[in-house]
């Protein structure tokens, strides 16, 4: 297969590209390298440095099977300071990707996010799993809204693309983590690299708010496995599918785990809560399980152990 991966040099992108190359696909990568650096090459890999908003001007292809649209900044500190870093690639870039996919009769797979669900009201201590049919609850024009709303608009564009007779799907990813995540920006929303950096310094693990908010963390290898199944799926895909690990954990408990697994008890520092932060975020993955025969293979403990072994200095 010939596959275009926008954002292919990023954290998820490079793992996916490597997996595609290992199985014999030809891969085209488009990345502006704002938050990434090309770090590997292959005879079946062609790389273009550029902006996805200019996709149809800078990438010349006559044959293509699938577009995986990953291009977008996902670091909260960056998009809170510059909204265009998420609005442009997820709205205008998605529109360009849909144009190319329609021209070449290719399937488009859009990397969406659990953020599209917004701040669903949930009084459960760990949160009720969110299904693809659940409504989203958003407040507008705040520090978090550019990312979530840009992703929602990207999903609408892909939905329109599909309803016009084409093939595509939005993949709602829930907190994908693993070794070698970009740790150059330590801030809210970067809990795994933040904790690794603090353990290495050493300094207290920083937690925003009370630490009782819950998140579900998915191993990068499991995320790539799901994307490969979606790429290879024979038939019509759903408009959206959750890909995540239905094993929620409080950030306080995560901090305890990092210290116990690393045997470095650096303590915790609590910082002010970020406005409009969702209390819980846990996926219902029954659709992915039944449709794709996919479930996560690594537990949270195994994920933390791998990350610590890779990132914590002796």
Tokens of 265: 């008890």
Between CA 217 and CA 129 the distance in angstroms is: 13
40/15 Cα distance (integer angstroms) = 11
**Residue 69 CB neighbour total at 10 angstroms:** 31
Helix (H) or strand (E) holding 227: helix 220-232
First to last CA, the chain: 42
- Annotated catalytic residues are 147
Structure tokens at 49: 């440095």
Structure letter (DSSP) for residue 273: P
Q: From residue 294, how far is each of 114, 225, 230, 231, 288 by CA, in Å?
A: 18, 8, 10, 13, 6
Please give the structure tokens belonging to residue 311.
């990132």
Q: Phi/psi of residue 118, each to 5°?
A: 70, -150
Distance of CA 170 to the CA centre of its chain: 12
Distance CA 119, CA 145 (A): 11
- Cβ–Cβ < 8 Å for 270, 207: yes
Give the helix/strand (H/E) hosting 268: strand 268-271
**Residue 269: which of 217, 175, 158, 194 has the closest Cα?**
194
**Residues ≥6 apart with Cβ < 8 Å to 141:** none
């Amino acid at each position: 297969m010939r596959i275009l991966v926008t954002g292919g040099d990023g954290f998820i992108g490079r793992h996916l590209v490597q997996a595609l190359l290992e199985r014999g696909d030809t891969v085209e990568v488009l990345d502006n390298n704002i938050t990434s650096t090309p770090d590997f090459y292959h005879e079946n890999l062609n790389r273009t440095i550029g902006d996805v908003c200019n996709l149809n001007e800078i990438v010349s292809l006559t044959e293509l099977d699938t577009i995986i649209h990953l291009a977008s900044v996902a670091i909260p500190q960056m998009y809170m300071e510059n909204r265009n870093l998420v609005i442009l690639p997820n709205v205008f870039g998605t529109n360009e990707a849909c144009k190319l996919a329609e021209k070449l009769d290719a399937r488009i797979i859009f990397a969406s996010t659990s953020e599209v669900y917004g701040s669903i009201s949930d009084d459960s201590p760990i949160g009720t799993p969110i299904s693809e049919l659940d409504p989203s609850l958003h407040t507008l024009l705040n520090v978090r809204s550019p990312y979530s709303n840009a992703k929602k608009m990207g999903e609408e564009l892909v939905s329109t693309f599909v309803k016009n007779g084409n093939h595509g799907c939005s993949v709602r990813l829930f907190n994908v983590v693993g070794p070698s995540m970009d740790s150059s920006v330590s801030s809210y929303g970067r809990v795994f690299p933040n904790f690794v950096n603090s353990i290495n310094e050493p300094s207290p693990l920083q937690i925003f708010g009370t630490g009782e908010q819950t998140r579900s963390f998915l191993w990068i290898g499991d995320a790539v496995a799901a994307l490969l199944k979606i790429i290879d799926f024979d038939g019509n895909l759903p408009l959206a599918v959750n890909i995540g690990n239905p094993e929620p954990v409080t950030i306080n408990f995560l901090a305890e785990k990092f210290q116990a697994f690393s045997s470095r008890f650096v303590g915790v520092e609590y910082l002010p809560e970020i406005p409009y932060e969702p209390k819980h975020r846990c996926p219902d993955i029954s659709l992915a399980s039944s449709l794709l025969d996919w479930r996560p293979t690594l537990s949270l403990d195994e994920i933390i152990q791998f990350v610590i072994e890779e990132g914590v200095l002796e």
